[in-house]
Structure 1
Amino acid sequence: MSKTIFITGASKGFGRIWTEAFLQRGDKVAASARNIETLQELAAQYPDTLLPIQLDVNDRAASFAAVQQAAAHFGSLDVVINNAGYGLFGTIEETSEKEARDQIETNVFGLLWVTQAAIPVMRAQGGGHILQVSSVLGVATLPVLGLYNASKWAVEGLSETLATEVKDFGIKITLVEPNGFSTDWGGASAVHSEPIALYDGVKAALYAGLTPDTIGDPAATSDAILKVVDEENPPLRIFLGKVGLPWLSQVYADRLATWEEWKEVADAAHGGAAVGEITA
């Protein structure tokens, strides 16, 4: 049975690829983008099943209006995919206030506004599925992407919490964790801070590790996304690409080893039995 999909950031990259995959199999898609002219060709090809919506996710009122428009147009929303976002390249010291605020505004608050708009629609219809496009960098970090890392860690905490809050409404949450892919994320869509030469070595080491074998083909992700949205019991988290799981398995092994090493210090910090009333 066909599904109704609302997806942000549909003009390029994952958003465009997944939009086309949904349409090709007969789903109905409300595709939002800052510039909907980029969707004109698809709209002509799928006039009955594609609804282009102009949207800047940073605008909370516009995000709510867009979700309402999509739900009214198609009669329901089975799946909402928060895909809009971009990468900010720069060390912590290099990052300007505006760059930092803009990164969090789009990657975190933009996702939050669309999510808040989708919840009452899905609750009223008895369920739905929200996919949050995070990153492997929402679970571990790389240098030179500090604010991007921070934005995705925020998405992780927000979405994991949300999953427990909306479960009884029949709403499911999935965090999508891509490793590096050859999209515009690291190219035309990226923002670069004013460089400080002292960090040239850190940047060179980062870029040296980005070999062709570590970068995935975005077109290959469609089948995974289709499988996730069709799954009756979807996972809270799913990796896209072959790099994330091995890397993060080692990251977590190292974390656990460190935590165990400091366990006695942690336990001692707990103190004795609690005295008086326990409050949250």
Structure 2
Amino acid sequence: MPQRTWFITGISSGFGRRMAEMLLADGNRVVGTVRDLDSVRELRKAHGDRLSVHRLDLTDGAGAITAVVDAAFGAAGRIDVVVNNAGYGLFGAVEELTDEQIVHQIDTNLLGSIRVVRAAVPHLRAQGGGRILQLSTYGGQATNPGASVYSAGKWGIEGFMEATALDLAPFGIGVTIIEPGSAGTGFRTGGARVAEPLAAYDGTPAAMVRRIKDPSLPSVGDVDKMVAAMIATVDRPEAPRRLALGSDSYRFMNQALTARLAELENGKATALSTDRQAA
């Protein structure tokens, strides 16, 4: 694999941390963002000037995000791959969630990722191309009870990235949406946030997410294999639009897409009947 320079948001833990470690071990350069610089102290010590780190919270706003991205490109000269990884999960039925929780989730997972792309695209275009990897989840194509706002952010960013991929293709900028299933990244047990439960939802499907932090719940995916597959997409001549990772991701997405296509076909006659009649 050629040595490249990668910009990755959220390298303190999870997929972002493991991706940074694997890339650095292979001789790449990494520019990462974290909310707490102390969280990557040992990583910085181990890899010296091949790793540079910026403090950034995706809710800091467009100005802060643009300043970090501009500084990263300015220092590196060229960044080959931009990875939108930072984010977290918010779970609970919609009426269990506060307005502040909802705004923070959308500001982080959707608007934060959009702002990173907006800041990076002028640099990628000026340098003649590059890749953008957007971390999503199978929940960007399928839904689960108790994940309404989390799904809203993921469905939103997938729509944004799919359309943006069409805009950026003429400039040699490829876009890949990454859709992992469950994996032992600490996403559930560490970063996930669960709403204060309402008794009305006791015993309903939405209450399922109240166990999301239970460490005994199984994870299907192998983190290293998943990250290796993400990295490998950059070596493909054409960026795959989507990359499902894990048998659970494939299964949930296959079921959801098959059901949606069946519903579309069932409504075909109605759809065609609403066309204007030819003169």
- Give the structure-1-normalised TM-score: 0.92
Matches within 5 A, 1:1-280: 1-58=2-59, 59-201=61-203, 202-203=205-206, 205=208, 215-273=220-278
Query: Counterpart of 2:225 in structure 1: which amino acid?
Result: A
Give the letter for the 2:55 counterpart. Q
> 1:5 Cα shift?
0.4
- Cα separation, 1, equivalents of 2:277 and 2:149: 39
Instruction: Tell me, in whole angstroms, the C-alpha distance in 1 between the residues paired with 2:211 and 2:32.
Output: 36
Aligned equivalents of 2:206, 2:267: Cα separation in 1: 32
**Cα separation, 2, equivalents of 1:196 and 1:131:** 37
Aligned length: 274
- The answer on whether the counterparts of 1:131 and 1:175 sit within 8 Å (CA) in structure 2 is yes
Counterpart code for 2:233? V
The CA deviation at 1:207 is 7.4
1:253 deviates by 1.8
CA contact (8 A) 2:184 2:219 kept: no
Change (3 A) 1:144 1:56: same
Deviations 1:33-69 (A, max 9, x none): 1111111111111112000111112221111111111
Q: CA deviation at 1:128?
A: 0.6
Query: Separation in 2 of the partners of 1:232 and 1:190?
Result: 35
1:232 Cα deviation (Å)? 2.1
1:122 CA displacement: 0.5
Shift of 1:95: 1.6
- Aligned residue number for residue 277 of structure 1: none
The 1:168–1:56 alpha-carbon spacing in structure 2 relative to 1, beyond 3 Å, is: same
Q: Which runs of 5+ in 2 are unaligned?
A: none
256-265 or 157-166: which moved more? 256-265
| Cα distance in 2 for residues equivalent to 1:72 and 1:208 | 44
Deviations 1:190-248 (A, max 9, x none): 12112112222214556799985553232332211221122221201001111122222
